[in-house]
Amino acid sequence: MASEIDAGRANLPDGARCGPKRFSIICVGPTQLGECDLVREEAGRRFGTENIAEDIYIPSILSAAALSTGLLRCKEDSVTVVYVQSIVFEALTTVLAALELLDYTPYAVAGWGLTQSQSYREKVQRGYWQGSHVLDVTIWDESSTTTGEFSGMTSAAFASRFLQRWAYRPSYLAAAQFAALCALSKAIEAANSLEVEAVASEMRLMNLSEFYARVKFDAYGQIAVTPLVTQVPPPRGSKDPGLFDDHFVYKTVWPETASDFTFHTFPLPSWAFRRCFFEKVDLDGTACFGRGHCGAGGACVCQDGWEGDSCEIPRTTTSSDTMTMTIIVAVLGAVIAAAAFATLVRLYYRRSHRKLQEQLAALFAMLHEAHWMRDSQRVSQVWKSLQNFGYTPARASEEVARRSKEQSEEAGVCIAYLLSQDFADLARSRTDKEDPTFYDMKDTFFFGAKPIGQEQTCPRDGGAGCALIDTLVPAHRRRCTYFLSWTWGYTLSTVQDGLSTWTAIEGMAPSEVFLFMCFFVSNQYRILSGKQVSAAELEHTFEACLTRAGRMVALLDTWDNPRYLNRIWTIFEQHVAIKKKLPVTMVLTSGATDALIAQYEAGKPGLLRVMDALTKVHSESAEASVPDDAEAVKSIILSSSTFPDVDNQIKNFMLHWMASTFEAHMKQIMAPPGKLGLGKRSGTGLLVTVGFEGEGFGYPAAFQMARTRTAAAFQMARKSLSSLSKNPEDEDSSTVYVSSDLSMSERPQAMKCEL
């Protein structure tokens, strides 16, 4: 496999020659600045400061926009070595995803300890080919040949024993801990005692050679370990059944005394070549099913007599060959029963047809991805392959237009972009306001001196002027994963705070979440043209978008009479989500969350205030910025329901959400010390998703369930908090007293770090 991958080196990656600015450091996380300075200093000594490009500082691993911008700068500067410095394992996979997205192939991608986790090893072994060939610095690798004086084991023997015991390969941490136990045991034997000072004295004098390293402590109680550089092997291919291979071992490539250069791959092959090698490799490890090889452009170059995307189709025979085959078949027909022969023919064509269908499906999957990436070169390559299946250039053009239209309508905006400084700067510079609303942005984005997207062709209808989503770079637009229910009256800070809160609690990377957000997805130039849309068409379009996303996130700016409950669009969105039994996550900003908690902790009066504020729903009088829209939406509601029924649906929903958040808060108060925090993963928190299938929202039972849960939660709180009260005898008071170790000065910090 390695030799075939080495053959792809002819396809030189970006930065085809080593020159100025060839080395760049990607520093992920604010705590990494000092470490990056040390790496830069050492790299400057070894390569010359003139060959060190500007560092890329990423405030957190979630900033995909900053990462893409930095890597584009590296690509333009012909950086050939990208070094990732971070204490977060996920930083490497995020960088690799961005490199593939940008089709940027440096000579090498390297880091320190980022490939050593068991999860990373398993991910690559199970098919994450993008993570292979990474160079990583570690302080131990199982390819080391030293035999331990005390343990009697080599690194390979230790790794084998560890694998048998724990069913996964050890990292350097396991080897270090085992070596420490060997050293301690050796010291105890030498001291012939368990007295601390006697054992410590032997440890200070120790000079023990173990498979991990030589255990000899300096004046600071440290041992010297020579770092190793390892390279991650590639997975065996997509046709592999997925079973783990005991021989999937990282190879040491430096220092030379311990290296295995039969594996070492430098420079990195292109993304297209590596994709070809993984997707078109057979079970025996040969590319293109052993009938060709992966070319530099990522396509199979087939041997004579074979063709197809993976060289799996025999080339059409000549007329003379056909005549010979006919004679052979005639002779065989005299021996083999006609029925058996017919069965064989049917099986052959059925298998051939199935293979062709699989090939077509793979090609169209590649085409789909290329369209999302706006990779015209890859689109062209796929269509050349499809010509072998009878697809004409005219049909190709139609399909490209259809897919572009489909992806434009299905796209969502990336949360990482919404949270980015780039978007904030754009909004502020366009509106000349520090914290503009999205109504303010609409006026300047689409009515200003330079309307965004006005001159760009719309992929949906071919006319001039496209949706804002179609102007974004590929990293910021993908198929939507959530439907955002909100209002344009929210400010920039409200939207950023709420979305940041939500993704943090859910533990999601903002770069991987894409929202159907009407401000971005709707073509404002068609809306502004005054073209009337029927209520039926409006309902169909909206329900299709919501159903496609499958999940809704509702953003509230406050609990106290939120404008969310006064807008007909948001009421209608909740109505449809309830009707379709789709899960809805209610999100508050951090400030609104603190205010809601304060009301909960005010006892019964606070609960009643919240209940009153969240049940003021009057769909009949709800408004929209465009009066015609309000009338159209209300007519849709009346076509299948009534205003009172819709009001009750929303009230039931809000009561259920309130009961859930109150119950979660009570659990936090009663949690043992040190267990506070409103993280979603802990099973508690004010971020509550409701409306899953089976809960039956919109039915009378929902209202009763919400009332029951609220009453039970309140009773639980009264009983629990009375025992924590500074005035225990005052159990009938509606005021809630909280013990000093759960004071308001302490809890909000724990809450805010999660929310």
SS3 556: strand
Both 34 and 163 in one domain: the answer is no
39-56 burial, b at 16+ Cβ within 10 Å, e below that, comes to bbeebeeeeeeebbbebb
| Whether 37 and 181 share a structural domain | no
Do residue 553 and residue 679 come from a single domain? Answer: yes
Mean pLDDT of the chain: 75
Residue 485: which pLDDT band, with cuts at 50, 70 and 90? very high
Task: Tell me the CA distances in angstroms from 405 to 79, 370, 409, 454, one per residue in order.
Answer: 36, 14, 6, 17
One domain, residues 133 and 170:
no
Whether residue 376 is contained in a domain is answered as yes
If asked whether residues 666 and 698 sit together in one domain, one would say: yes
Asked whether residue 260 carries a pLDDT value surpassing 60, the answer given is: no
Is 571 domain-assigned?
yes
Parent domain of 183? 155-215
pLDDT above 70 covers a percentage of the chain that reads 71
Per-residue model confidence (pLDDT) at position 739: 27
All residues at 6 or more sequence positions from 101 whose CB lies less than 8 Å from its CB, including other chains: 68, 373, 474, 475
Q: Do 16 and 104 share a structural domain? A: yes
Radius of gyration of the chain (CA): 32
Sequence-ordered list of residues with C-beta below 8 angstroms from that of 179, at least 6 positions apart, any chain: 148, 210, 211, 212, 213, 215
Whether 559 is in a domain gets the answer: yes
**542 assigned to some structural domain:** yes
Question: Span 503-508, mean pLDDT?
Answer: 87
List pLDDT tens digits, range 382-426.
777 777 766 777 777 787 788 888 889 899 999 999 999 999 999
> 120 and 87, same structural domain?
yes
pLDDT at residue 70 in the model: 82
Measured distance CA(292)–CA(273) in Å, rounded: 13
C-alpha to C-alpha distance for 98 and 91, rounded to whole angstroms: 11
Measuring CA to CA, how many Å separate 108 from each of 120, 132, 258, 377? Answer: 18, 11, 20, 24
Q: Nearest to residue 577, comparing CAs of 548, 547, 556?
A: 547
SS3 annotation, 16-65: CCCCCCCEEEEEECHHHHHHHHHHHHHHHHHHCHHHECCCEEECCCCCHH
Query: Quick check: is 661 in a domain?
Result: yes
**Residue 84 and residue 56 in contact, taking contact as beta carbons nearer than 8 Å:** no
Say whether both 74 and 197 belong to one domain.
no
How many domains is the chain built from? 4
103 and 72 housed in the same domain: yes
pLDDT band at 640 (very low <50, low <70, confident <90, very high): confident
pLDDT over 60 at 428, yes or no: yes
Coil vs helix vs strand at 676: coil
- CB-based contact 284:241 (threshold 8 Å): no
Q: Is there a single domain that holds both residue 602 and residue 696?
A: yes
Same-domain check for residues 132 and 166:
no
pLDDT score of 745 more than 70? no
pTM for the model? 0.48
Give the SS3 label for residue 112.
Answer: strand
Of 598, 597, 601, which Cα lies nearest the Cα of 718? 601
DSSP H or E run through 482:
strand 482-485
Report yes or no on 421 lying in a domain. Answer: no
The domain that holds 69 is classified in CATH as 3.40.50.2300
Q: How confident is the model at residue 30 (pLDDT cuts 50, 70, 90)?
A: low
Question: Could you tell me how many residues make up the chain?
Answer: 755
Q: What is the pLDDT of residues 190-230, one digit of tens each?
A: 999 888 899 999 999 999 999 888 999 888 888 888 788 88
Question: Residue 464 contacts by C-beta under 8 Å, 6 or more apart in sequence?
Answer: 454, 455, 456, 457, 458, 525
| 643-669 and 568-579 helices, crossing angle to 10° | 80
Mean pLDDT, residues 27-35: 63
Q: Quick one: 329 and 367 in the same domain? A: yes
Judge whether 340 lies within some domain. yes
Residue ending a domain, choose from 369, 385, 401: 385
Query: d(Cα 187, Cα 182) in Å, to the nearest integer?
Result: 9
Residue 64 falls inside a structural domain:
yes
User: Measuring CA to CA, which residue among 611, 595, 607, 701 is closest to residue 654?
Assistant: 611
